[in-house]
Amino acid sequence: MKRTLLIIFLVFICTSVFSQQSFNLSGIVKDKRGDGLPGAGVYVSGYKIATVTDNNGRYSLKLKPGNYDILIQIIGYKALNKNIIVDDKAITLDALLEEDAVQLNEVTIKPDPNREGYIRMFFDFFVGTTPNAAQCKIINPNVLIIDYSTDDSKLTVKTNQFLIIENQALGYRIKYMLNNFEFDNKSRIIYYEGYPYYEDLKGSKGKIKRWATKRAEAYSGSTQHFFSSLYAGKSKEEGFIMNKLIKQVDKTRPADSVIKSNIQRLTSAKLSSTGAIKITNGDSLSYWINQKNKPKEISILNQQELLPDTLVKVYNESIKSINFTDILYVIYTKEKEAASYANRIGLSISRPLKMNDYQISLINLLVAPVYFYQNGGTYNPRSMLFQGYWSWEKIADSVPLDYVVPKVNPSK
């Protein structure tokens, strides 16, 4: 028995030491002629880790074991992204950058009278509308490449240079290489993907202290916090309770064809008899219009708590996955909804009358399963659709993936 305990103890020590060990990522960044490119930025997406190539185009940085997106960028060349997995040894990653004709040549952009409106729309749906978003500013909106399709009412935005966002609420300067942003005005679905890099803003001791407090608040209850706690098997301890929301077809609602037929029949009858359409509460036409406006589905909340062990599976040494049916109803019990969120129409999620006004979010699974990492990052941004509180919090309320919650309350 003692021998077994000793072996387990030694394995635990070795695993702990390994998890803290960093490995070297290095390489050379060249152009198509094979010449090294000095001054190229090498960024670890989602983190505060970056470096710059030397006069020969070489770079080097340290990374702990994990999965990373490496972004290499320099003005005049197309940005290059590579995904790497750091395991138990050093990695060499060389890069060949292509010249970007769009950046090298002057581009004449035709004046668009709607551009400012689209930028404001983009800001609300990408940066956010939270109190933290009110303290954010896009420094270089000129890099936004904007297109609005009137045919399908869809706003798309991308960049070929870093979009720079200054967040005075959390004390970050975010450089975001935006691959794609989409807002569908019909479905009201927002999707975006890209490569963010975080830098700390400079400030007084008082500012830095306030930023530390606000960062801890932003992290608490976030998707990053949820998946990190789920990975560690401590989601309930961290304040997250999971239920299941089941959506069923409302069998009391007549078929669309029946509703349409009755509305047309009653509308025609009113026109032929009076020459005008007057809708009165309780009449037949009013009844069928109400039937048309009824949701086609009804939602049923199963308040039996879902245990993480039934949802989460180990994929490999650094990745876990979560899979479920219906919709995941996530309650964060350590913070209540902000007043500015509760007052926004169409965002808040229905809850039982006896439930406190905790933060509630829904996860709709689009691609199963969802793969996630120890730091709370997820593999495929299109694998989930958020509703509720998490759909309200966006870039303005984000922290880097290497953010560590202070052991002592920063406000004290």
The answer to whether the predicted template modeling score (pTM) of the entire model surpasses 0.85 is no
- Quick: pLDDT tens for 361-405: 999 999 999 999 999 999 887 899 999 999 999 999 999 999 998
Sequence-ordered list of residues with C-beta below 8 angstroms from that of 21, at least 6 positions apart, any chain:
64, 65
Q: How many CA atoms lie within 13 A of 152 on its CB side?
A: 9
Instruction: Please name which of 50, 82, 40, 75 lies closest in space to residue 160, comparing C-alpha atoms.
Output: 75
- Quick: pLDDT tens for 198-216: 999 999 999 999 999 999 9
Is the Cβ–Cβ distance between 39 and 74 less than 8 Å? yes
| Percent helix / strand / coil, the chain, rounded to 5 | 25, 35, 40
Is the Cβ–Cβ distance between 49 and 69 less than 8 Å? no
Lowest mean pLDDT of 3-7, 29-33, 66-70, 192-196, name the range: 3-7
Residue 237: predicted pLDDT: 97
109, pLDDT greater than 70:
no
Residue 364: predicted pLDDT: 96
246, pLDDT greater than 80:
yes
Q: If pLDDT is split at 50, 70 and 90, which confidence band does 46 have?
A: very high
3-class secondary structure, 61: strand
5, pLDDT greater than 70:
no
CATH superfamily of 21-104: Carboxypeptidase-like, regulatory domain (2.60.40.1120)
Residue 346: predicted pLDDT: 67
16, pLDDT greater than 60:
no
Separation between Cα atoms, residue 114 and residue 19, nearest integer Å: 51
Q: If pLDDT is split at 50, 70 and 90, which confidence band does 220 have?
A: very high
% of the chain beyond a pLDDT of 90: 65
Tell me the torsion sign for CA atoms 334, 339, 341, 343. positive
Mean per-residue pLDDT of the chain:
87
- Quick: pLDDT tens for 73-108: 998 899 999 999 888 899 999 999 999 876 545 545
- Quick: pLDDT tens for 141-169: 999 999 999 899 999 999 989 999 999 99
Separation between Cα atoms, residue 341 and residue 339, nearest integer Å: 5
Amino acid at 126: F
- Quick: pLDDT tens for 296-343: 878 899 999 999 999 999 998 889 999 999 999 999 999 999 988 877
State which of 121-125, 184-188, 405-409 shows the largest mean pLDDT: 121-125
